[in-house]
Amino acid sequence: MPDNYLQAAVEIARQAGQILREEFARPVNISYKGDEVDLVTQAARQGKVVAAICHGPSAIIEAGAARGRKIASWPSLKTDLRNAGAEWIDKEAVTDGNLVTARKPEDIPAFNRAVIELFSAGVQQKRPAA
């Protein structure tokens, strides 16, 4: 992951929340840096928006923020999410409190609408991570 992406992600997390791109989770070779997981952990604990698509929810699992949440993802994460205490949902976009998730690139329009709606609402449905 280029440093400029991580720096931008840090600034986003400080302000409003964290949006995880698919490559954030590196599905072929998942290997997290402490800073990446810390961003998700802090955003979730503070009730900030955390949005993830495709394999991005892997970072939510790693951050310990999946338990008790409804999460959409790429189907190969279904078992991992359930093992982490989440309810896997097969929908194009799922909003659960401050968390927005989606399954795949084809779901990006619905994912974007859900993220914009949550930011526009001022994240009034905050639900800190378990």
Catalytic residues: 54-55
Burial of 15 (0-12, 13-18, 19+ CB in 10 A): exposed
| Alpha carbons 26 and 89: distance in angstroms, whole number | 21
Specify the length of the chain in residues: 130
In the block, residue with structure tokens 């989440």: 86
Question: Which residue bears the tokens 């604990």?
Answer: 45
DSSP 105: G
